[in-house]
Amino acid sequence: MMADKVRTRFAPSPTGTVHLGSLRTALFAWLWARHAEGDFVLRIEDTDTKRFDPDSVAGIMEGLRWLGLDWDEGPDIGGPFGPYTQSERGALYRDHAQRLLSSDKSYRCFCSPERLQRLRQEQRAAKRQPQYDGACRHLSHDESAARAAVGEPFTIRLRLPAQAQITFHDVIRGDITVAASTLQDPILVKSDGMAVYHLAAVVDDHRMHISHVLRGEEWIATAPYHVLLYEAFGWDTPAWVHLPVILNPDGKGKMSKRHQGERHLPVNVQDFMTAGVLPDAMFNFLSLLGWTPDASKELFTRQELIDRFELAMISPAAAKMPYAKLEWMNGEYVRRLSSQAFRSVSTPFLARAFGKSETAVDQMAGLDYVLPEIQTRVKTLREVAPWLSWAFKSAADMEYTPIDMLIGRQLDARQSAETLEVCQAMLEEAVPFEPKVLQALFRVAAQEQDMKLGSLLGPVRGAISGAKVSPPLFEMMAALGRRECQARIHRAHTALVAEDVARS
């Protein structure tokens, strides 16, 4: 039964945060498992202890959870084929290495690191590809066992079969053939007894009944070794699916952290989280990076993506990372949120931007007047805070520099100050203190003053927001409340009077 079941895995090495390419690998493996009603396994590949970063496992899990990828088995929840962290599976790998030794499919290699380094140097000097020369391949059983018995350090290498080439099948790339002359007997177990990635990954994929191995195309070069290892053990291979790399936006090289002009491009999952990308948008966007479920549209629900997912439809071609498309798509998802949902996803961003607690932000009831206006204007959640700096200040913090922000169109400083006086008097009449009421009052005032509404509002907008760009004025005023508006207008008025004195 197990053999028929689709089981995929995401097998990151915990060396840092999750790169966008790895996140896409995880997503495709998850989509395939969910599509086929199979299982998705999380396995931590930490055999290379030198590169191990202990915080990284938590970061990986946080990234997967953020995107909404749940796993059926993994280091934190266990499962029938655990443990799911390779460093806890050393005995199993040693046991399997021993099996290969006994069947002569592998051999002990006593070559010292110094000898191997010398060999590489000589080969390079002779313009040959550096490769192990097989010096220990032909040691007799007795000699090999005797040298091991006296404690001479050794690695275990796979004995590659003599054949001209090896061919394996990739679901999206078809048959891939590699000349055996480019391969060398790979080390399976290091001299300290630790298994190398090749052995650990193959043993685990087999023991965990993985049916489809999805991973980045950079692993194609290791696939022949894995295929030969399966052969050496006499096991069936899983289906191979090597996903295309994601290139930098200019098409040059694999996507990496760097600056484009002044702009810092997000690359790791945490970067996208702090940039205020919504998980639903990211899920939709990433699904389409290398897969086109339907050329006539781009927005899909999670369920549609699960239903339509097909491995064979993944493109093998490397694709450039389309940041503009991600922003556009995120904007679309932002627009679709309910006002309440938009508020709740924005809260952590506001709390961080203005140094407040989330509870304090939650208590700012007035934000409900302006957030829907901002929701129509932003593409990412990080863009929300700059629209709201006025809301997190009090009248005493307001700075009106340059003073031009308080001067209305076709008005001078004195006239602008007079405009503020008219408005100030009017604020008492706004009952309730709501956008519609304020708007009606300001209309009437403009008529009475024989002014354009825009000219009348200019100084008030500056007084309330302290900035040139801001959300609609009446919503801002309602958000702040009557007293705060009066205090700001008073302060702005004082600044204008001082300016008028200075100018005259």
Give min distance, CB of 10 to ligand GLU, in A: 8
Q: Give CA–CA dist 410/431, Å, rounded.
A: 31
The interface mask with ligand GLU, positions 6-45, x = CB under 6 A, is -----xxx-------------------------------x
Residue count, binding to ligand GLU (CB under 6 A) = 7
The interface mask with ligand GLU, positions 45-74, x = CB under 6 A, is x-----------------------------
Q: In this structure, which amino acid lies at residue 56?
A: S
Give min distance, CB of 353 to ligand GLU, in A: 34
Give min distance, CB of 458 to ligand GLU, in A: 57
The interface mask with ligand GLU, positions 91-130, x = CB under 6 A, is ----------------------------------------
Query: If we measure between CA atoms, which residue out of 188, 178, 302, 307 comes closest to residue 240?
Result: 178
Give min distance, CB of 186 to ligand GLU, in A: 14
257: left (phi over 0), alpha (psi -120 to 50) or beta: beta
Give min distance, CB of 115 to ligand GLU, in A: 29
What are the E-state strand segments in 164-226?
165-170, 174-179, 187-189, 212-216
Contact 41, 83 (CB under 8 A): no
Which residues are identified as catalytic? Answer: 257
Of residues 164 through 223, those in contact with ligand GLU by CB under 6 A are 201, 215, 219
| Nearby residues of 390 by Cβ (< 8 Å), 6 or more positions away | 464, 465, 466, 467, 470, 476, 480
Of residues 216 through 255, those in contact with ligand GLU by CB under 6 A are 219
With the C-alpha atoms ordered 299, 302, 306, 311, is the resulting torsion angle positive or negative? positive
Instruction: Give kind and range of the element (H or E) at residue 17.
Output: none
Query: If we measure between CA atoms, which residue out of 20, 19, 16, 10 comes closest to residue 286?
Result: 20
With the C-alpha atoms ordered 422, 424, 425, 431, is the resulting torsion angle positive or negative? positive
Interface residues with ligand GLU (CB under 6 A) are 11-13, 45, 201, 215, 219
